[in-house]
Amino acid sequence: MKYNIVVVGGGTAGCAAAYFSAKLGLKTLLIEKNSYLGGTITGALVVPAMKSVQSILNNDFYNIFTQRLYSLGGQITYLDGNKGWINPELAKIALDSILADAGVDILFNTYINDIFIQNSFIKSLSISSSEKINLIPIDNDANILSVSTETTTSENNNSLKLSEYIETDYVIDASGTQIICRKANCRFIDDNTNLQPSSLRFIASGIDLSKFKEFILEYDKDREATTAGVINNEIHLSTACTWDKEWALTPLFNKGLKEGLLNKEDLAYFQIFTIPGMPNSVAYNCPRFTKSINNNDLYALSNEIIAARKSMLRLINFCKKYFPGFEGAYISEIAPEVGVRVSPRPVGKYIYTIQDLKEGKTFENPVLVSNYPIDVHSDKRDGAKLEKVYKEYQLPIESLISADYKNLFFAGRSISCDFYSQSALRIIPSCFSMGEGLARYIANLSNQ
């Protein structure tokens, strides 16, 4: 098969990139390892999207997405004007239909095996429905398939075809895991030892939101921390409590700790939001991992996942006891994917820095404009950083263009920038803008 563009990763940035590539006339293939689109939004249950400036730049995909979700009953505009309150399950359905409208070919449950490079161009990819299988020829006279490469089929058995070859003019790595960059042996930015804790999020249902709303608005008068209202005939609210400062909910959490309902790690970061179209439910922006680990450390990762699921049980039991309205609450969904805040970032034509961001440096070809703060999570009580920015900032297209390959680009949380600027750039609206801006740039290139 031959495509103009292959987008690897059907998540936040990848969906926007694929949609606009196809809309702008490029024959587009989107490759996704899961069986749904949306990436961190849907797989890691990360909702709502953060509020940022109503940017005039590359905002179309975000508008199309929120409008489609609204028509499905899965979006509201919150009290603060943030239209990013979205339903993660309906988001899967909305994205399927939006990308179908544009004519994107989508391959789910698909993995990249090999990439083929010539003169600094990625010429083709081999893909399959599983991780790469290296079949070893077996010198045995039994009924063994005598195959030596993964493209070979057994004699007279085409159903065992293992790989598909895809030729392409351009590749966008929107995997967040840098799958293409790593396979292509790209250079990475050398501050990759800097980490932030990931989270495993969940949803609880069976909640009397009306009762909880009355309680929480009365209990917590800080409208920076707790807000609630009725929007589109649904109750919506949000509240939080973290270990690095005193919140209205802190005494309740301390009680839970004293009674043994909670562990001290459960107090690190607690935040809940309601979800459009899911009455009686809230999304937990926690538990957060107790350590900032490298995701390639599989033993540490697995231990953190198990610990996070135990923490969910403690949190729900704590809420049932201390939050009026939560008496009948139960865990209705645990995110299938870990929510990863930061990962290694490949070297692009421009490495964006925290100085660029703080100064609000302008560029000839920006892909996004934002004012979202520097937001670094930490596993240390005094290690987090949430720093407002006073100027709108831009990200240049050059931070999405590989320095190593002529037709390789990246978009999303893993782009060419330093650790601190990534903590501001990674939010959902900015990832959408990156995907859209990049698609527009590549469509222009291909027309030249």
Can you give the binding site for ligand FAD, defined by CB under 6 A?
8-14, 31-34, 39-41, 44, 46, 49-50, 111-112, 174-177, 179, 199, 339-341, 412-413, 426-428, 431
3 state DSSP class of 312: helix
* CB-CB contact of 418 with 157 (8 Å): no
Instruction: Of 47, 184, 203, give the one whose Cα is nearest residue 112.
Output: 184
- Of 21 and 199, CB closest to ligand FAD: 199
Determine the distance from the C-alpha atom of residue 96 to the mean position of all C-alpha atoms in its chain, rounded to a whole number. Answer: 17
Cβ-closest position to ligand FAD: 11
Determine the distance from the C-alpha atom of residue 241 to the mean position of all C-alpha atoms in its chain, rounded to a whole number. Answer: 23
- What is the DSSP track for 322-364? HSTT-TT-EEEEE-SS-B------B-BSS-B-HHHHHHT---S
- Of 200 and 209, CB closest to ligand FAD: 200
Q: How far apart are CB 175 and ligand FAD at their closest, in Å?
A: 4
3 state DSSP class of 157: strand
- Of 68 and 92, CB closest to ligand FAD: 92
Q: How far apart are CB 321 and ligand FAD at their closest, in Å?
A: 26
- Of 40 and 239, CB closest to ligand FAD: 40
188's torsion region: left (phi>0), alpha (psi -120 to 50) or beta?
Answer: beta
Q: How far apart are CA 94 and CA 201, in angstroms?
A: 21
- Of 68 and 320, CB closest to ligand FAD: 68
3 state DSSP class of 208: coil
Q: How far apart are CB 55 and ligand FAD at their closest, in Å?
A: 13
DSSP 408: E
Q: How far apart are CA 250 and CA 225, in angstroms?
A: 12
Q: How far apart are CA 209 and CA 222, in angstroms?
A: 19
Instruction: Of 221, 213, 273, 283, give the one whose Cα is nearest residue 247.
Output: 221
Q: How far apart are CB 19 and ligand FAD at their closest, in Å?
A: 13
Taking CA 427 as the corner, what is the angle to CA 91 and CA 194, rounded to the nearest 5 degrees? Answer: 130
- Of 104 and 147, CB closest to ligand FAD: 104
- Of 176 and 396, CB closest to ligand FAD: 176
- Residues linked to residue 349 through DSSP beta bridges, in sequence order: none
Structure tokens given for 14: 């990848």
Q: How far apart are CB 199 and ligand FAD at their closest, in Å?
A: 4
Instruction: Of 283, 216, 224, 279, give the one whose Cα is nearest residue 252.
Output: 216
Q: How far apart are CB 360 and ligand FAD at their closest, in Å?
A: 20
- Neighbouring CB atoms inside 10 A of 150's CB total 17
- Of 44 and 252, CB closest to ligand FAD: 44
Q: How far apart are CB 200 and ligand FAD at their closest, in Å?
A: 8
Q: How far apart are CB 14 and ligand FAD at their closest, in Å?
A: 6
Q: How far apart are CB 131 and ligand FAD at their closest, in Å?
A: 9
For 181, the enclosing helix (H) or strand (E) is helix 179-183
Helices (H), 10-167: 12-23, 40-43, 60-71, 88-102
Q: How far apart are CB 349 and ligand FAD at their closest, in Å?
A: 19
